[in-house]
Amino acid sequence: MTEEQDGPRRPPVDGPTVMGPSTGHLHGPTPQEPTLPADATAGADEEPTLPEPTPPPTFPDGPTVATSIDEATLAEPTAPATTWPYGPTMGTPVVIPAEPDEPTAAVVDESPTTTGPTVASWPLDELLPPPPTDLVWRPDTPEPPPRPHHPAYYIALGAAVVLVVALVAAAALATVVRPTRQVAGTARPAQAIPEITTPSTEPPTTTTPPPRRPDGPADHPLSTSTARMADATCALPRFDLPDEAQAAFYTAAKTCADDAWGGVLAEAGLDGRVEVVTVTDTVRTSSCGEITPESPATQCDGTVYMTPAHLRDTERNGRYPGRYFGVFLREYARALQFTTGLAETAADVDGAEERLARQATCMAGIASGAMANRGAVDANITGEIGDRLSSVDAPPDAKAWLDKGAQARTLDACNTWT
């Protein structure tokens, strides 16, 4: 390297150059080299001329450096201190010109600052992040256990489980054990083939006698029922003597009797259906024999036979409809005795015919009392019924039994078997 590139050669120094480092980091620009006077290089024997001492600078935050004649004069910094962004602030080293025989020492201003290093007029400690605090280990907080259920919850749950198990067991048992029902009769073998019967082509018998009751006529419902006949309104046509007019009269009378007796028989548990036939000019043959227009009115096997000629010509009842109507009500009661089975139970009783006649007269009084003063049955017809049934072909005490039935209007009032 040439001298022109390096600049003027620096005079040699008798001793080593000592640097006085300051506390802190050594950063920043290289200290300025001391400037020697121009004539210092002229001769080594001449003493160097020292510059005039400069008053020490006043530092606001540090002490003032004083100089002494007896001591080496320190060169004060001519340039302001350089503020470094990192590290402490160093004072500018001052080169003290030394004697030729003494080494040149560079002194560095080590005056401390009160606020520490500054960066852009702010304290560095405000820009730096705070030091980390000590890490404290904290255990994870466990989640609280679930709230226990109320005892009633477990009781209800257990009851529901027991109920479900019981239902399942009942269903399983029902599929295994099938209900059985006992049936009366004799069991047939499983391999027996049932007999096939051919249906009969003959029509069934419509009229069959009622089964014979083990009890006597005194215990028959027709003699013991307390059912009371309700009020009945009977509509009868205008009565006239010819056969055809009488036939129409008896047809209407049957309707009145059926309506009046229907409720009483049903309440007594009986079913007595009565038929009515008017005999005019044809002889009727029945199980009771031949019935002609001149025969008395009668009943046979539950059928009432009315004979207009006999009632008009033989008995001479005239134009009194109550007398004809009374005979019809008595024979209707005799037909009920047959259809309900009472007549058959009384077949072996002594004096059965007379007792049956009294009971029939009383039953005619029941119907007469239920129809009295209602509809076509006025007081005249009611009186004519009593006169006819208590005088002609009447049993003893017919009047008393007729009145008893009309007043009580119950079947037990006509029990002539006790």
Let me know: does 239 contact 245? Beta carbons within 8 Å: yes
Token pair in block for residue 62: 């540090």
> Which three-class secondary structure string do you get for 253-314?
HHHHHHHHHHHHHHHHCCCCCCEEEECCCCCEEECCEEECCCCCCEEECCEEEECHHHHHHH
With a cut of 50, say whether residue 118 has pLDDT above it. no
Max intra-chain CA distance, the chain: 211
Let me know: does 375 contact 233? Beta carbons within 8 Å: yes
pLDDT band at 111 (very low <50, low <70, confident <90, very high): low
Could you give the CA distance from residue 297 to residue 291 in angstroms, rounded to a whole number?
Answer: 9
Range with the lowest mean pLDDT among 147-156, 187-196, 255-264?
Answer: 187-196
Question: pLDDT digits over 277-287, tens only?
Answer: 999 988 888 88
pTM higher than the cut 0.75: no
Question: pLDDT digits over 378-389, tens only?
Answer: 999 999 999 999
Higher pLDDT, 171 or 232: 232
With a cut of 80, say whether residue 24 has pLDDT above it. no
Question: pLDDT digits over 403-413, tens only?
Answer: 999 999 999 99
**Chain mean pLDDT for the chain:** 74
With a cut of 90, say whether residue 104 has pLDDT above it. no
With a cut of 70, say whether residue 350 has pLDDT above it. yes
289-291 and 284-286 strand pairing: antiparallel
| 152: alpha, beta or left? (left if phi > 0; alpha if psi -120 to 50) | alpha
Question: pLDDT digits over 125-167, tens only?
Answer: 566 666 666 666 666 666 666 777 777 888 888 888 888 888 8
Please state the rounded mean pLDDT for residues 182-191: 51
Question: pLDDT digits over 314-343, tens only?
Answer: 999 999 999 999 999 999 999 999 999 999
Please, what is the angle between helix 398-408 and helix 352-371, to 10°? 40
Radius of gyration from C-alpha coordinates of the chain: 77
For residue 247, the model assigns a pLDDT of 96
